[in-house]
């Protein structure tokens, strides 16, 4: 049987990174409240380390206002706790699955943000009818399969869905809510905020009439410009 190491068994550089990532992950949860992406305790953030196959994730069921760097939980990429006093998030095994199968991903976020989750309840991809969707998602925001909570099944659903939508940093799990990814936890939080924004706008558009979807060639150009030209390089 695999021996689970304690954080004390890891080198000093790993312990130093854990300290820094605990701060980052604890503080970023404030952004979920700021952007109105969560209610009560329903959502979580994690970030993977660069110095070891470990991640830092929110403790399960704790109010965002009470989160501190010390209350964050450190697990390995099989979801085993290596440091922390609290039980880790219900979605730990799914975050770990995503990190194991998507080596460029270092941040994962889950929310139940209202409009994105409403699309999830209908099982419909959010169609790409906005230039910002071409920019941010490179196409529609996809719906992932329905999966029960607590195992790595949600992570499998996210990874399988993103194989079909490789430019999207978001999957809205059917009947559940968005899971977003990024090069770090902050990028995944940004993707969660953008998912909710476009979910809201496209919901409003649907009330007004038929959606005009953007041509896939133009979506590719938008996504390329946003990825390679937009912002400071
Ligand atoms: O999605 C769900 C439940 O529907 C959970 O991810 C959410 O409530 C957050 O749980 P944790 O507090 O991270 O264990």
Q: What is the DSSP letter of 7?
A: G
| 209 vs 194: CA distance, rounded Å | 22
Is position 81 within any domain? yes
Rama region for 203: left / alpha / beta (φ>0; ψ in -120 to 50; rest): alpha
**pLDDT at residue 8 above 80?**
yes
Q: Mutate which of 38, 41, 87, 93 to test ligand 1's pocket (most atoms within 8 Å of Cβ)?
A: 41
- CA 109 to ligand 1 center in whole angstroms: 11
Q: Is the ipTM of this complex over 0.85?
A: yes
CA distances from 212 to 54, 129, 169 (A): 44, 6, 22
CATH code for position 38? 3.40.225.10
Which residue is closest in CA terms to ligand 1's atom 8? 42
Nearest CA to ligand 1 atom 3: 42
Enclosing domain of residue 144: 7-228
| d(C-alpha 52, C-alpha 155), whole Å | 20
Asked whether residue 36 is assigned to any structural domain, the reply reads: yes
Ligand 1 atom having least distance to the Cα of 62: 12
Q: Examine residue 177 and state whether it is found in any structural domain, yes or no.
A: yes
Taking only the tens place, the pLDDT of each residue in 139-150 is 999 999 999 999
Chain position carrying tokens 């998602």: 137
Compute the distance between CA of residue 136 and CA of residue 133 in angstroms, rounded to an integer.
5
Taking all residues of the chain, what is their mean pLDDT, rounded to a whole number? Answer: 97
Quick check: is 233 in a domain? no
Total count of domains within the chain: 1
Question: What was the pLDDT predicted at 3?
Answer: 74
In a domain, 63, yes or no: yes
Does 1 fall in a domain? no
CB 96 within 8 A of CB 55: yes
Q: Write the residue with the smallest CA distance to atom 13 of ligand 1.
A: 89
DSSP letter for 30, please.
Answer: H
């Amino acid at each position: 049987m695999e021996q689970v190491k304690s954080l004390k068994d890891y080198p000093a550089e790993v312990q130093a990174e854990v300290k820094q990532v605990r701060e980052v992950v604890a503080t970023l949860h404030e952004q979920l409240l700021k952007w109105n992406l969560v209610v009560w305790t329903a959502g979580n953030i994690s970030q993977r380390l660069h110095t070891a196959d470990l991640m830092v994730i929110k403790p399960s069921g704790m109010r965002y206002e009470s989160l501190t760097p010390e209350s964050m939980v450190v697990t390995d990429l099989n979801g085993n706790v290596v440091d922390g006093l609290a039980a880790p998030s219900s979605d730990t095994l799914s975050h770990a699955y995503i990190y194991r199968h998507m080596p460029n991903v270092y941040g994962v976020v889950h929310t139940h943000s209202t409009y994105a989750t409403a699309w999830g309840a209908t099982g419909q991809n959010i169609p790409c009818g906005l230039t910002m969707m071409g920019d941010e998602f490179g196409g529609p925001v996809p719906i992932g399969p329905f999966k029960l909570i607590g195992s790595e099944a949600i992570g499998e659903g996210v990874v399988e869905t993103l194989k079909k939508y490789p430019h999207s940093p978001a999957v809205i799990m059917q009947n559940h809510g968005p899971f977003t990814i990024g090069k770090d936890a902050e990028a995944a939080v940004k993707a969660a905020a953008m998912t909710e924004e476009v979910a809201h706008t496209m919901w409003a558009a649907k009330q007004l009439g038929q959606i005009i979807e953007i041509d896939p060639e133009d979506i590719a150009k938008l996504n390329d410009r946003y990825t390679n030209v937009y912002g400071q390089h």
